[in-house]
């Protein structure tokens, strides 16, 4: 599985899950990261606007024998002056079988997510409390739980949410109907009030006997028949 995403600084992250390891996988990772870096270029653009590309690869296999570390970070660095780095391509490989939970004081989120990847599967019955306490990991746990449903459980699950959606639809339709009725009532009351004001004005003008019925009709918008009946 490959996922490509960007952060708010427009740095690009290519995340890949690899179940087996081959030496050619490193070259494929480098190629894909290089393509993503080059893809940023437009004709005439300033090179300073190029953003780094990070290739994060979770590998469910051990490929560096004799090395205890599970986290391997490669980037462009001077072979003698290691503080001199060309920022551009960053390749990270994580050997999941080597990962062992450590203290949460450092790299807490990394530990939580790696525990999720190495400890949780469709057969998990109990989840450690520290994983449940984190909102993002907890959401991922819910997805795993749903993915582990049997066909029958999934049917019940879908039916439940279908009932919820149906109920919400009914509630929205009822609310919309009530709102429309209230609006129509207000509009009718406003129209009746406006009509009554016209009638009152026409009655006063007619009583003053200074305007013809036609003139009053033109001034108020009433018909001559309505004014004659006042």
pLDDT in tens, 55-102: 999 999 998 888 889 999 999 999 999 999 999 999 999 999 999 887
pLDDT digits (tens, 9 = 90+) for 158-180: 787 778 888 888 788 888 888 88
Give a yes or no: residue 125 inside a domain.
no
Phi, psi for residue 130 in degrees, rounded to 5: -65, -25
- Looking at the structure, do residues 92 and 159 belong to the same domain, yes or no? no
pTM of the shown model: 0.59
> Which residue among 84, 99, 114 closes a domain?
99
Task: Give SS3 for 15.
Answer: strand
Instruction: Specify whether the backbone of 3 is left (phi greater than 0), alpha (psi in -120 to 50) or beta.
Output: beta
**Burial class of 55 by CB neighbour count within 10 A (0 to 12, 13 to 18, 19+):** buried
Tell me the mean pLDDT in the region 213-224. Answer: 84
Give a yes or no: residue 207 inside a domain.
yes
Torsion angle of the four alpha carbons 63, 68, 71, 75, in this order, in degrees rounded to the nearest 10: -80
Give a yes or no: residue 86 inside a domain.
yes
Domain range for 218 is 155-228
Predicted local confidence at residue 43, as pLDDT: 65
Angle (nearest 5°) at CA 93 between 91 and 98: 160
> Which residue among 82, 99, 116 closes a domain?
99
pLDDT digits (tens, 9 = 90+) for 20-42: 888 889 899 999 999 999 988 87
pLDDT above 80 (res 154): no
For the chain, the domain total comes to 2
Phi, psi for residue 217 in degrees, rounded to 5: -60, -40
- Looking at the structure, do residues 7 and 95 belong to the same domain, yes or no? yes
- Looking up tokens 């009532």 gives 185
Predicted local confidence at residue 37, as pLDDT: 92
Give a yes or no: residue 133 inside a domain.
no
Q: What b/e sequence results for 104-128 when a residue is b if at least 16 CB atoms lie within 10 Å of its CB, and e otherwise? A: eeeeeeebbbbbbbbebeeeeeebe
**Both tokens assigned to 72:** 């391997």
Rounded distance, CA 203 to CA 229, Å? Answer: 10
pLDDT band at 107 (very low <50, low <70, confident <90, very high): low
pLDDT above 80 (res 125): no
- Looking at the structure, do residues 95 and 164 belong to the same domain, yes or no? no
Tell me the mean pLDDT in the region 119-125. Answer: 77
Task: Give SS3 for 58.
Answer: strand
Give a yes or no: residue 167 inside a domain.
yes
- Looking at the structure, do residues 85 and 162 belong to the same domain, yes or no? no
């Amino acid at each position: 599985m490959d996922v490509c995403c960007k952060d708010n600084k427009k740095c690009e992250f290519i995340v890949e899950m690899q179940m087996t390891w081959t030496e050619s996988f490193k070259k494929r990772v480098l190629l894909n990261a290089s393509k993503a870096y080059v893809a940023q270029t437009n004709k005439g653009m300033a090179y300073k606007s190029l953003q780094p590309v990070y290739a994060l690869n979770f590998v469910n296999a051990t490929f560096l024998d004799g090395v205890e570390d599970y986290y391997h970070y490669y980037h462009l660095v001077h072979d003698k002056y290691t503080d001199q780095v060309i920022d551009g391509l960053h390749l990270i490989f994580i050997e999941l079988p080597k990962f062992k939970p450590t203290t949460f004081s450092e790299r807490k989120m990394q530990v939580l997510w790696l525990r999720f990847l190495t400890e949780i599967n469709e057969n998990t019955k109990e989840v450690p409390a520290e994983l449940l306490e984190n909102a993002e990991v907890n959401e991922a746990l819910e997805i795993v739980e749903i993915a582990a449903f049997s066909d029958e459980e999934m049917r019940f699950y879908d039916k439940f949410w279908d009932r919820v959606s149906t109920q919400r639809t009914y509630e929205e339709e009822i609310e919309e109907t009530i709102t429309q009725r209230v609006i129509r009532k207000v509009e009718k009351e406003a129209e009746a009030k406006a009509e009554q004001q016209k009638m009152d004005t026409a009655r006063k003008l007619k009583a003053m006997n200074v305007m013809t019925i036609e003139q009053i009709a033109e001034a108020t918008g009433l018909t001559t028949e309505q004014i004659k009946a006042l």
